[in-house]
Each structure stands twice: as structure tokens, then as C-alpha cells.
Chains A and B, each alone.
Chain A
């Protein structure tokens, strides 16, 4: 078993044994494959042709699908967890997808690169160019990140959508948590992970 990417490892640890999950943009299925050993069941959704065979190899139930079309194939509250890792910024309407996620999942885990990180701000403010970093390695013209956001942006959207944040974890590029990041997450955090649910009004 290959070691999981650190952010996936954190998501992995947040999911309880035996949960039913939907992994949106599941890539080669490594997270679900690893979760299966803890009796976690569910499906992965992936649009990329080249990843489907990898999921099959990992014995992951993968459905080739486009997240921009929403999740009409799934009924309300049909999963314990919906996972969206490093994909929110690549969809056409992150707000609609967030609606869909909290409709389908009792809870959700969402991870994205924080565009408010000081290096991004520096590159834009002083270099006058779109930032390129370890977390955001591609140039503005050839990456799939069409809706980058900051930690502040996401939390604002969550509030508007009546989403309750159960917990969050903010990491630097080596996927480490630290006290300094805790003090200034939107400035020092490179990757943000949230466990959320729909607020009960």
C-alpha cells in the first residue's frame, strides 16, 4: 500500500470506520482504496479518462462523471461523508457544487489550496503576476483552477450557505500544521481542509 498524500491522510483519519462515502474527483482511487480496509464503502466520481483504470485496479467503484453537472444521480443525505479534495477550485460553479454536496452528504470534507497565502499575495502584489507555487504549480493559462479562493472567501460562502464548520485544518506546503498557521491561517496556510455539514435551522 502506497502512503497517502498528507492532506488525504488527514481526510482518511477524519472518516469513521464503516462510513458510506462519496469521493468527488477521486483520482486513482487511493483514498477510497485505503478507506476500504476500514470497511468504508461508497463510490468515487472522476472525469479524467486516464484515472479510471487506476480506480478499477484499486477495486474502487468509480463512476466517470462531470461534477459541473451536479450530483443528480444521488438522493438527499445518502452518504455519511462527501469528500471534495483539491477540486473545488476547478469546477464551473463551486457554490452550486457546495449546495449539492451538503444535499447529498450528511457531512462533507472539503480541501482546497488557499489563494490568500502570503506567497500568492506577494507574487501578485509585487511581481504583478499570477502566483505559481508548490501547491499551485501551473501557469495561469494551463491550469484547471478557474475559481481559486481564500480561506476567508470559503468561510464567507459557507456562512451564506448556512454551512456549519465542524472542524478545519490548515497546512503549509509540506502539509504540516503549526502554531503560527493557527494564528494567521489565511496568510500562512497553503492548504485548507474543512469538515462541514448543513446547519440545522
Chain B
């Protein structure tokens, strides 16, 4: 927490819980009989309920997108640089909602929750949740909040996939989709990275086939390793070079196998912190949701046809040095929207930070989002 809350912060926020006992039928064919969702809101919903913006989180995100939970909070929400009064997603204009997705580990029902039928944590028995399932559960939340149609749904990476799916699944409930550093499906290389991450987790002796909670342990090493790999792919070579170069922790080489370069130390530290705060089964689930996302599979792999019923206007953004979700992947989305004769704007942002850029205050990126959000605010209400 800074000394005082900055004027452009949404300030102190209290997460809210909602219990849903209408069963959710999942893409896998399984049912989730009841579930909880945790979410945060910033700004005020107007009387017509026409200014609501849904923020969808990526693999390791949660419902805490902006502001602080208490005065001791060291860090603001994960997208605080984008969301707040006067910021690109201006909470003076919009009612912003962010939830922890089902299967998550920050309060919404997921593998660490108690399975009501066994009174034990779900662990690996928690059903695999897909992007389609998330959209359906987010729609239930929207109903509960009295939001018939989102002014915009905004997401980066896996979050962008949710915005795309919303536009396909529930075309009249979304006016704008802001899809940042995303793809319409993962490439083989991307699935391969996810499989290495899963192998790292499942190979940890503390994994216990996913039942680690019952063994009072957690596959911290495996999860840390998975995160390390992920982290490398989220950065560009350029960004890593700039940040660490070949800098050593101590001023000489030790000729042993300990951590010597700063980049090693950084990765190790980051992955340890992550493993302490994240659930391994959730990580597995999220990577599966990424792998499975492929809305065009129901339309003969024709993405333009998949998008033919879309009503939302799209803003698609990519970053030049992002190689995990490269600009070419965004071109696929844009070209399909063009073929389907949909409203789309595309900006390719020069940024050195790789995939991570979508979380960072890159000036031109934020300017594009700000201008687009202003345009949404200025549009006549439907």
C-alpha cells in the first residue's frame, strides 16, 4: 500500500461472494450442481445498466483487478494501471466487474473447494472448466447483477479468449469485445509449453495424483517449475536482456551449480512466491482451458463462419515482441472478422516486453484502450 491511496485508484475494495444453486452444465458433459463466485466491482452501474464492463482474467489472474484490499496491501490489483477513475477504463464512466473464474483458487469454486457430496476438497475431481463454461457462469453473474448487455468485455491472453467466446455464444449481450494479446486457438507450440508445465506439476512427488491437500502438502517444486517456464515465454528475449543481461548475483563465477546469474535468482524467487499462492490443480485446469479453446472447431475450422452471428464490435490489440501470442495470431482473428464483414479495429503495439506487455503501462497501448473506451462511452445507449 502506498502512503496514501492515489487519486486515480479505485481505493479500498471489498470482494463480494455470490452463491449459485442453479446447476451449470459443462462443456465436458458434467454438471456443477452449485458454486460460488467471488468478484469485485468498481464504479457505479447507471440506471439503464448500460455502462457495465466485464474484465476477464488470464491464466494466473483473479477477481482483484484494481484497488487495494486493506491499508497494508503491498500491491494494487493486477490491472490497476488500466482501471480506475480517469484511467483508460475509467470507473467514473463505467461499472467494472471482475470475477475469479470457476476452477480458480482465489475464492470461486475450484479444486481447493469442498465437494459437497464428499465433504472433501475436490482436488483433481473438480470438473475441467472450459472458456465456454466460464462465459456461461459469467452470464449467470451478469443476470444477478442486473446486467443484460455488457458495454464491453475486456481481456488479455486467456481473458481475450473469453471476450471472443462471449461475442460468439451470447451475441446480443456484448456491445464491444476488447481482445488483447490473444488467439482464436493455441498453436501446437503453445500446447507443448502447457504440457511441459503440466508434466512438471504431475511429476512432483508431492502431487499425489492431485490429492495433495489431503496429504497436507503441495507440489511446490513442480508448480514453481511450470511458472518458471511460463514466465520465460511471457517475456521477450529483448526484455530479459534489458532487465538482467548476464549480471551476476556475486561479482565472480563460483564454478558450481548454485544460482549465479541474476536471471536465475529472479526466476527462482518469482516461481517460489507464485507456488505459495497458487493451486497446482487450478494451474492444470487453466492450461487445459487454454488448450481446448477453439471455437471454430464446430464450424469446420472456419473462423469467419464461427463469427458470422457476432454483433459486438471488436478492438484487437497485439504486441510486436509477443511470441507466445504473436501479432500473427491476432491477424487471424482480425482477418476472420473482416471476412465476416464485422466491425473491427486493430492496433499492433510496438513494445519490448513480450506477452507481459498487456499487463504493463505501455503508453500507446493504454492510449488506444482509453480512446476506444471513450468512444464506447460517447455512443448512444442502445
Interface residues in chain A, defined as those with a beta carbon under 8 Å from any beta carbon in chain B: 43, 49, 52-53, 55-57, 59, 61-65, 73-75
Contact = CB atoms under 8 A, between A and B. Distances in A.
Given A63-B338, A74-B338, A56 B344 contact: no
B334 to A, nearest CB: 6
Contacts, number: 42
- Main secondary structure, interface of A, reads mixed
Contacts of A63: 334, 338, 344-346
7 contacts: A43-B344, A49-B350, A53-B367, A56-B371, A57-B371, A59-B375, A65-B346
B364 interface: yes
B314 to A, nearest CB: 9
Interface string B345-382: 11110100000000000001001100110110000000
Contacts of A59: 375
B270 interface: no
Contacts of A75: 339
Contacts of A74: 338
Given A49-B350, A73-B334, 19 more contacts: A43-B344, A52-B347, A56-B315, A56-B368, A56-B372, A57-B375, A61-B343, A61-B344, A61-B345, A62-B345, A63-B334, A63-B345, A63-B346, A64-B347, A73-B331, A73-B335, A73-B338, A73-B339, A74-B338
A8 B25 CA distance: 55
Contacts of A49: 350, 364
A64 B346 contact: yes
Nearest to A60: B345
A49 B9 CA distance: 29
Contacts of B348: 64
Contact of A56 (B334, B335, B345): B345
Contacts of B331: 73
A56 B370 CA distance: 10
A65 B330 CA distance: 12
Task: Pick the 3 closest A-B CB pairs, nearest first.
Answer: A73-B335, A56-B371, A53-B371
Contacts of B367: 53
A59 B344 CA distance: 11
